[in-house]
């Protein structure tokens, strides 16, 4: 394990969600122990207020977005757009989790960004999160003037953990949905993604999925916690909208930037999915981080490895945006 991460875990007494018995306690832990921690750390690096604008909109009942638009002289410039889906096991978290990172990305990369507040399980189980994010993506393409967005300059969906799962699923949906004809995704960002339930591992890949067992007790997200989150989301393991590895074809998907953590129970999800995408002819940029665990950069954002994850995200987005008109 990375020495800085090991010391941080010991200092925090483990700092995992400790399988709280109900969703309210789990959400309270996450808001106080994760979202507040990362926002406190990043607030000193926020860009100046005059460099961007922030707005909010209701997409549908229970679904909202917060959007960030770079400032431009005269207001005539247009930008590529990134749609962000927060992590939290489909059950916790909010648009506050990535808020400060997205403000930085907006200004640093000249990106219009849409941050989705989707409904959470267990009150809204599978496939509510997918439906909500799809509505937000439709809202995005119908409101490019509000966002000062030009989809021809780039149209990316991305997220961490459950957000990575939803992004992978939506990349398939948008590839095939006639609504998005002429305005397809150009990129996907999959950070520590979940792509297949262990009960649904294809026979040909079973030997490649070792990390769920090997890393089952590594904080902050253990295998037991993941299974608790699976239960709250209540998705059929073999449904490709939950296990996108199981889609019959991955051809024609947008290029993908993938991040994976060596000590993550989901490490092999990322590795296998990257291989499957490449085999289908999809361009993939892949970063694997040694000695660190799932989502560690949220819980302990001040260590050097966390800074590298954030810096590489910038480079990964630049790569996704290359060659766009």
317: helix, coil or strand? helix
Catalytic entry in 160, 197, 294, 297 = 294
**Helix residue ranges, H only, 160-303:** 162-176, 211-214, 223-233, 267-279, 296-299
Residue with tokens 């609504």: 179
90 neighbors 132 (Cβ within 8 angstroms): no
Euclidean distance between CA atoms 324 and 104, whole angstroms: 21
Q: Which residues contact 14 (CB under 8 A, 6 or more apart)?
A: 219, 220
Q: 264, 268, 269, 297: which one is catalytic?
A: 264
Q: Which of 94, 112, 161, 293 is catalytic?
A: 161
- Residue carrying structure tokens 């990322």: 270
Query: Helix 128-142 crosses helix 162-176 at what angle (to 10 degrees)?
Result: 60
Query: Over the range 132-148, which residues count as b (16 or more CB within 10 Å of their CB) and which as e?
Result: bbbbbbbbbbebbeebb
What distance in Å separates the CA atoms of residue 162 and residue 91, rounded to the nearest whole number? 9
250 is an active site residue: no
Residues that are catalytic = 161, 264, 294
């Amino acid at each position: 394990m990375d020495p800085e991460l090991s010391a941080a875990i010991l200092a925090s007494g483990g700092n995992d969600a400790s399988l709280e018995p109900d969703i309210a306690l789990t959400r309270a832990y996450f808001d106080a122990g994760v979202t507040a921690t990362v926002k406190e750390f990043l607030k000193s690096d926020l860009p100046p207020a005059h460099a961007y604008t922030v707005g909010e909109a209701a997409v549908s009942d229970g679904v909202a977005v917060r959007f960030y638009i770079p400032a431009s002289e005269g207001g005539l410039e247009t930008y590529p757009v990134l749609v962000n889906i927060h992590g939290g096991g489909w059950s916790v978290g909010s648009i506050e989790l990535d808020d400060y990172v997205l403000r930085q990305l907006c200004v640093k990369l000249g990106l219009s960004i849409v941050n989705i507040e989707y409904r959470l399980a267990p009150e809204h189980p599978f496939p509510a999160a997918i439906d909500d994010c799809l509505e937000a993506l439709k809202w995005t393409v119908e409101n490019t003037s509000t966002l000062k967005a030009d989809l021809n300059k780039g149209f990316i969906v991305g997220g961490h953990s459950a957000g990575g799962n939803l992004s992978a699923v939506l990349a398939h949906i948008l590839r095939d949905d006639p609504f998005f004809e002429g305005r397809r995704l150009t990129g996907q960002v999959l950070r520590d993604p979940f792509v297949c339930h262990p009960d649904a591992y294809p026979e040909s890949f079973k030997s490649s999925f070792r990390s769920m067992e090997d890393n089952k007790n590594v904080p902050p997200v253990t295998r037991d916690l993941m299974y608790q989150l699976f239960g709250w989301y209540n998705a059929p393991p073999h449904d490709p909208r939950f296990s996108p590895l199981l889609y019959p074809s991955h051809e024609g998907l947008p290029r993908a930037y993938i991040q994976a953590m060596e000590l993550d129970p989901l490490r092999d999800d990322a590795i296998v999915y990257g291989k499957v995408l490449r085999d289908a002819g999809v361009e993939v940029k892949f970063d694997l981080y040694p000695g660190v665990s799932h989502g560690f950069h949220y819980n302990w954002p001040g260590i050097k490895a966390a800074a590298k994850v954030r810096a590489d995200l910038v480079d990964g987005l630049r790569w996704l945006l290359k060659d766009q008109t």
